[in-house]
Structure 1
Amino acid sequence: MRGLITDLLSDGGIPVVGEAANGKEAIEVVKDVEPDVVTMDLEMPELNGIEAVERLMAERPTPVLMLSAYTDDDAEVTFEALDKGAVDFFAKPGGEVSMGVSRMGEQLVSTVQTVADADIDRSILDREDRRARRSRPPESSKQTAFEHPHTVVIGSSTGGPNAVERVLESLPSGDCRVLVVQHMPEAFTARFADRLDAASEYDITEATDGARIGPGEGLVAQGGRHLTVSNYRRGRLRVKLIEDDRGYTVQPAVDVTMASAAETIDDPLIGVILTGMGADGADGIRAIHTAGGRTIAQSEDTCVIYGMPKRAVETGHVDDIRDLDEVSAAIAEGNA
C-alpha cells in the first residue's frame, strides 16, 4: 500500500520524501524530513494512527490525511483521528491493500494537495477549544429561541466535521430544521449524523429518501447522493435523494441542496458556508440570498481551509461573515 500510494502521488507531481512502516517510525521520519503533509493509516504496528497523530500534533504539528477503509469501525476511529488533529481523511476501497486505490489516484492527489494547504495552527486551536468545552460543565441556559422556526442549510468540506459540530451544539434547542451537507463518503455520513445528534439538542439522523423533518430535527446528506428539498408544508419539509451526479464533482453537493431549499421553502431560510476547499456552495448561497433568505460565511481567520467561504463571499450574496464560534449566534439573529 505504501508503494502504491507513493507511485500515485509521484505520478501526480507530489514528491514523497519519506516512508514509515509504523506510527513510531513515522514520528521520527516527520521530524527528520519535515514534510508539508503526511498520509497516515489507521491500523499500524507499535503505534497506531490515532496515537501517532496525537503525538505529531504535540511534537511536530503537520497536516495529516488519514487513510481509512470503508467500514463502520474505521468510520468511528477516523472521527477520533479528526478529534486528535488530523485535517481530513481519504476512504480507500477494498480494505487494507487494494488496487482499487489506483483508480482513485487523481482524487488522492487532489486531497493531499488540499490538506497540505490547511491552516494547521487553526486546526490545533480548534482541537484545544473542543477539549476545553468538553471539560466545562453544561451551560445552564441556551440562546434565545427563534420567534418563528427557521430552516438552516449548512455546507462544509475539509475541516467541516468539527466545525459543524461546534455550530450545532450552540443552536437554540428545538427551533430550527437543519440540513447538513458535508463532503464525505457514504460509509461515514451515518456516523457523522450520530456525532451531531450526541453533540446537539437536535434529533439528527442520516437522510433517507422521502424523510420528513420539523422544528428540532435535522438531516445529514447521505454520501454519494445529492439531497434536495422536495416538499415543504406546515413547518415540515420532505427530502429526496438523487443518485445521478448531475455533473457535479462532489456528491452530495451543497449547491444542489441550497438551490432546492430556496425554490421550495417560503418560510425563513438561512444558508451557512463553513470551512472547505473549492467553490461548492457559492451558487447555493446566491440562490438563498436571491430568494430572500439570510446567508452566513465562516471567517478566514477561523477556517482550516478558506476556499468555500471565500468563493461564497466573492458572489456578493453573503450577508454576514463570522468567526466559527459566532456562527450559531448569527443564525439566531435571523430571529430579529
Structure 2
Amino acid sequence: MPGGTRAVVADDSHFMRSVISDILEEGGIEVATEARNGREAVDAVLAHEPDVVTMDVEMPEMNGIEATEMIMAERPTPVLMLSAHTDENADVTFEALDKGAVDFFRKPGGEVSMEMSRLKDQLVDIVTSVAKVDVGKRGTRSSPSRAGGPASGAGTESRSYVGDPTLVIGSSTGGPKMVEQVMAELPIEADLRVLIVQHMPEGFTGRFSERIDNRSDYDVREAADGARLAGGEALVAAGDRHMSVKNYRNGRLRVKLTRDPPENSVRPAVDVTMRTAAAVVDDPLVGVILTGMGGDGADGVVRMKDAGARIIAQDEATSAVYGMPKRAVETGCVDSVLPIDEIPNGILDTITTEVTS
C-alpha cells in the first residue's frame, strides 16, 4: 500500500496484537510487523521505519516507557501508548508522554474484542493523526518549572490585571504537555479562574490534574459535579463527562458534570464548556485552543467571541496535530495565533490593564 500509513504494533498479548492489527488493517493502515516486548518494538522501528508505533505500557524485558525513550533517541517515531485503566498505568502513561510519546488510547476491559471493535473508528483516527506528528519539532519542556517568576516573555515588567478573569483551555492529541506548560507559566497574581478541557478518558484526568497542580502556582483539581471555582484555581474536566458552567456570582463560578451525548464525537467536549461559559460569565473571558485533531472548540470560540472574549489559538508549527486550532482560526474569531511558548504571555496580554517597568 504505497504512500499509506505503516505501523508497528507492540503488545505482550498475542490476542491483543491480533485485535489491534486487524482493526488497523481494516482501517487502511498497514501493519509492518508486531512486537512482543519493548526490545522487539525498538528493533522493529529500526528495521521497518514505520510512521507510527502503538505501544503497550506494561511488557516483559523492556516496558513501553523504556522502549519509547530508546526509539526517540535512536529513530524518533510517533508513539501512541495503549494503556489499561488503572491508577498505576495512568502514572506510567504520563511518564511515557514525558519520554516523547505523542498521546495515549485507553485499552478496553471486560469483553476486549467486543469493546475494541466498538472503539475501532476512534483507534484508527488517532493512530492516523499521531502518525502525522513531526516528533522532532515539538519543543515543549519535559519538566516545566513552577511559575515562581514572571511568565515567559514578561521580562521584569510589573502588570496590573483586570478583575475576575476566566480562562477556558481546550486541547486534544498532543495536548497534555502543552497544557502543563501553559499553566506552569501563568502567575498567580493574574487571579484567573481556569477551566481545562483535555480529551482524555475516564481514570486519567485525576492524575492529569495532579501533574498540573505540581507544576503550577494554581490550585488545580479534577472537576466534580457542583464544584466551585474562584480566582487562582483551575478545574480539569473529568474523563467521560461534559463540564458546563452552571452559574457565576461574585467572581466564583460553579460547574455541572453530565453524561449528555458526546459532541464532536467526544466527551468531555470543549464546545460545551466554552458555550456555557459564554452564556453565564459576565466578567472578562479568554479562550485558548491548543493542539488536537478534529473540530471541537470551533463553535465554542464563536460563542465566546460573541460574548466579548479574546481568543488565542496555537500555531501550526508547534502543534502536534493542527486540527482544532486550524478549525478555530477558520471561524474568523481568533485574535492571536501563537507558538506554545508565547501563549502564556498572550493570555496575560488580554487581561492586562497596565504595565510598568
TM-score interval, normalised by the smaller of the two chains: over 0.9
- Provide the residue aligned with 2:142 in structure 1: 130
After the TM superposition, list the runs of 4 or more consecutive aligned residues in structure 1 that deviate by more than 6 angstroms: none
The total of aligned residue pairs comes to: 330
* Alpha-carbon distance in 2 for matches of 1:333, 1:319: 12
SS at match of 2:105: strand
1:302 and 2:302 equivalent? Answer: no
* Alpha-carbon distance in 2 for matches of 1:270, 1:69: 35
> Is the deviation greater in 208-217 or in 137-146?
137-146
* Alpha-carbon distance in 2 for matches of 1:73, 1:52: 18
Deviation at 1:197, TM superposition (A): 0.7
Q: Deviations over 1:91-135 (max 9, x none)?
A: 012179665323211111111111111121123x32xx335x55x
Q: How does 1:119-158 map to 2 (within 5 A)?
A: 119-123=134-138, 125-126=139-140, 129-131=141-143, 134=145, 139-141=148-150, 144=159, 146-158=161-173
In structure 2, the CA distance between the partners of 1:331 and 1:64, relative to structure 1 (3 Å rule), is: same
Q: Deviations over 1:204-261 (max 9, x none)?
A: 1111111101000110001111110010000000001111115541000001100100
> Is the deviation greater in 101-110 or in 153-162?
101-110
Q: What letter matches 2:252 in structure 1?
A: R
SS at match of 1:231: strand
- Provide the residue aligned with 2:272 in structure 1: 256
Contact 1:225 1:245 in 2 (8 A): no
Q: Give structure 2 stretches of 5+ with no counterpart.
A: 1-15
Q: Which residue of 73, 76, 80 corresponds with 1:65? A: 80
* Alpha-carbon distance in 1 for matches of 2:344, 2:275: 22
Q: What letter matches 2:142 in structure 1?
A: R
In structure 2, the CA distance between the partners of 1:100 and 1:246, relative to structure 1 (3 Å rule), is: closer
- Provide the residue aligned with 1:112 in structure 2: 127
In structure 2, the CA distance between the partners of 1:280 and 1:218, relative to structure 1 (3 Å rule), is: same
In structure 2, the CA distance between the partners of 1:210 and 1:49, relative to structure 1 (3 Å rule), is: same
Q: Give structure 1 stretches of 5+ with no counterpart.
A: none
SS at match of 1:178: strand
In structure 2, the CA distance between the partners of 1:302 and 1:145, relative to structure 1 (3 Å rule), is: farther
- What TM-score comes out, normalization by structure 1 length? 0.94
RMSD (Å) for aligned C-alpha atoms:
1.7
Deviation at 1:170, TM superposition (A): 0.6
SS at match of 1:24: helix
* Alpha-carbon distance in 2 for matches of 1:32, 1:210: 53
Q: How does 1:1-336 map to 2 (within 5 A)?
A: 1-94=16-109, 99-123=114-138, 125-126=139-140, 129-131=141-143, 134=145, 139-141=148-150, 144=159, 146-174=161-189, 175-245=191-261, 247-334=263-350, 335-336=352-353
SS at match of 1:85: coil
- What TM-score comes out, normalization by structure 2 length? 0.89
* Alpha-carbon distance in 2 for matches of 1:189, 1:333: 29
In structure 2, the CA distance between the partners of 1:72 and 1:13, relative to structure 1 (3 Å rule), is: same
